[in-house]
């Protein structure tokens, strides 16, 4: 009898090489995604370190060292990897459990600003279902974190659900909401190709600080004077909140195992995503590990979208 990928761990079928530009450093970075044994988890392997051997950095919440403009794991004074959220979202979105990510720089390449290129690269080699059962982190009680008007919470749910709301003063963004039960199908269709976005006014401040050197209209949605500067426009009219959802999926993937619960956030970001995950996992009474998907989780997950901003537009190739 064939194993169900819902209940068993997966990895990629063969090594994948990806080359791109770091959005902050502007440097060319190479990734080699290697298949890994069961129970390895997701591990970054920093190479090309001056006069040092390679360093392993687990993609795990306890190793998070920065959440300001992106999510970073490892020690920035020693060996670290930044801007991991889009790649981590792709891995969680496709339900990949075990992978060694060899990287020759300190930042995951931004590609087109979404998870789309990572998904396409993985699709070229495919996935392998492994022999060990997948373990899930089941949320047992509500955990909430607040930061001014912003808040986020994790609550019990028979599946893996994300509900994200953003609220910007700029009319081009405004208030947008999206909610979905996370499966490879819903991730591919509704989340993977949503690009990062930013304001030109912020870019002008960050460039003198040595940040955003690799940012361009090819890898981000740029906003100035309450309008989108990208000639091709948006991939969805609510692409902004879809990308915030992508970030949340990537940040919460640092749990070390898929979450069975509902994540909700209002005006969230990397820091709030991380702090909510940290609050959950530091409270031993708020969660438990379970083997395989509990009865009802798969069917609930396949329900797909349950709350989406009503405005849509056709995707732009």
243 among annotated binding-site residues: yes
Q: Residue 219 and residue 259: Cα distance in Å, rounded?
A: 29
Cα distances (Å, whole numbers) of residue 281 to 60, 141, 145, 290, 292: 11, 12, 13, 14, 19
247 among annotated binding-site residues: yes
Q: Residue 215 and residue 309: Cα distance in Å, rounded?
A: 28
Which positions are annotated as active-site residues? 270
DSSP string for 46-73: E---TTS--EEEE-SGGGEEE-SSS-EE
Count how many Cα atoms sit within 13 Å of the Cα of residue 153 in the half-sphere of its side chain.
Answer: 10
The closest alpha carbon to 90, from 50, 127, 139, 58, belongs to 127
Indicate the burial class of 151 (C-beta count within 10 angstroms; 0-12, 13-18, 19 or more): middle
Token pair belonging to 62: 């306890």
86 among annotated binding-site residues: yes
- CA angle 184-278-41, nearest 5°? 45
Residues at the annotated binding site for Zn(2+)?
86, 243, 247
């Amino acid at each position: 009898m064939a194993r169900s990928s819902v209940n068993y761990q997966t990895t990629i079928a063969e090594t994948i090489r990806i080359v791109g530009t770091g959005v902050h450093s502007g440097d060319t970075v190479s990734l080699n995604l290697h298949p890994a044994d069961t129970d390895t988890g997701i591990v970054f392997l920093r190479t090309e370190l001056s006069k040092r051997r390679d360093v392993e950095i687990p993609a795990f919440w306890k190793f998070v060292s920065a959440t300001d403009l992106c999510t970073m794991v490892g020690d920035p004074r020693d060996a670290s990897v930044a801007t991991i959220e889009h790649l981590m979202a792709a891995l969680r979105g496709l339900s990949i459990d075990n992978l060694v990510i060899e990287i020759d720089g300190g930042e995951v390449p931004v590609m087109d600003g979404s998870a789309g290129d990572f998904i396409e690269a993985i699709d070229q080699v495919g996935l392998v279902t492994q022999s060990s059962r997948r373990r899930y982190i089941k949320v047992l009680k509500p955990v909430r974190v607040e930061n001014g008007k912003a808040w986020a919470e994790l609550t019990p749910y028979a599946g893996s659900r994300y509900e994200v709301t953003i609220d910007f003063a700029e009319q081009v963004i405004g208030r947008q909401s999206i909610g979905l039960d996370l499966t490879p199908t819903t991730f591919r269709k509704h989340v993977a190709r949503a690009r990062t976005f930013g304001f030109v006014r912020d870019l002008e401040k960050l460039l003198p600080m040595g940040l955003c050197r690799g940012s361009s209209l090819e890898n981000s949605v740029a906003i100035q004077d309450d309008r989108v500067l990208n000639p091709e426009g948006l991939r969805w009219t609510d692409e902004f909140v879809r990308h915030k959802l992508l970030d949340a999926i990537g940040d919460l993937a640092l749990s070390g195992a898929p979450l069975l619960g509902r994540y909700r956030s209002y005006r969230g970001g990397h820091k709030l995503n991380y702090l909510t995950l940290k609050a959950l996992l530091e409270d031993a009474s708020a969660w438990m590990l379970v083997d395989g998907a509990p009865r009802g989780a798969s069917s609930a997950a396949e329900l797909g979208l349950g709350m989406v901003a009503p405005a849509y537009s056709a995707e732009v190739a």
